[in-house]
Structures are given as structure tokens and as C-alpha cells.
Amino acid sequence: MITLNNTSNSKNAGFSLIDVMVVVVIVGILASIALPSYQRYVISSNRATATACLTELAQFMERTYTQNMGYNPNGFTLPQLQCRTDLAERYTFVLGNHNVRTYTLSAQPTSIQKDTDCGTLTLDQAGRKGAAGGFNATTVRKCW
């Protein structure tokens, strides 16, 4: 005669507290590596968009000069381009040193952008690019 025994030799299936803690530690380490990298990527991507927007604004300034023989016709304002709208929370675009023969466009990062490496990006009528308040070739190469 065969008798059935309800006791078995197998352990309870499931996760122990140590297993869960190991997974939490691994996820924490991965997050601490990935998050700063992602933030640097976002800042760099927005900076690239800002430099493209400055170039587009410079092209607008050149068209204005061609049509009016000066960069400052009566009632002149910078156009509200789509790139300016897209970057409004991260950069403020300013037209400075604006007269008949010269202009300087700048993209100033807001507190959201926190671009400590490049700071304010500039572009003038001669095509001279600047970053971090100057025209250092190494900084400009890195930021533009």
C-alpha cells in the first residue's frame, strides 16, 4: 500500500531580504553612473541646438544687411524663430553691439541649463564664435 505524505523536502520558493538588497544596491550604482551622464548629454544637446539657432539668427542678420545696407533698419527686432521658442526655458537670445556695421548675438544659459563649461555663447558679424565669456580657441572648439 502506498501512503501519500504531505511533507516535502523542497524549500519555499521566493526571494530573501538579502536578494532584494543586492538588487537595490546594483540599481543604485547603475543610477548613480547613468544620471550624470544623461544630464551632460542633455546639456550638450541643448548647447548644440543653441549654436545652430545663433547661426540661423546670424543668417537673418546678413539678409537684413543685404536688403538695407545695415544691420539696424528702423523698427528692427530679432525674429521669433522656432529654435528660440524651443529653447526659451534653457537659453535667452540677446542682440548686442547692434549698429549699422556690427552686431553680436549671444545665447545666455538659464538656471535650468546649468552649462558651467561653456556659459554664454556668442557670434558676431565677422563670424567670430565665443564661449564662456571669451574667444579661447580650445573652449570655442569644445562648445561649438
Q: Is residue 3 one of the residues assigned to a domain?
A: no
In a domain, 12, yes or no: no
Interval 11-55: pLDDT, tens: 667 788 999 999 999 999 999 999 989 999 999 999 999 999 999
Segment 133-138 shows an average pLDDT of 92
Establish if 10 belongs to a structural domain. Answer: no
Q: Percent of the chain at pLDDT above 70?
A: 92
The verdict on residue 4 lying in a domain is no
Asked if residue 25 is part of any domain, the answer here is yes
The alpha carbons of the chain give a radius of gyration, in whole angstroms, of 28
Q: Say if residue 62 is exposed, middle or buried (CB neighbours under 10 Å; 0-12, 13-18, 19+).
A: middle
- The predicted structure's pLDDT at residue 69: 93
The pTM score is 0.78
Q: State the distance between the two ends of the chain, measured CA to CA, in whole angstroms.
A: 87
Asked if the model's pLDDT at residue 129 lies above 90, the reply is yes
Helices (H), the chain: 17-68, 82-86, 137-143
Number of structural domains the chain divides into: 1
Asked if residue 58 belongs to a domain, the reply is yes
Expressed as residue numbers, the domain containing 71 is 17-143
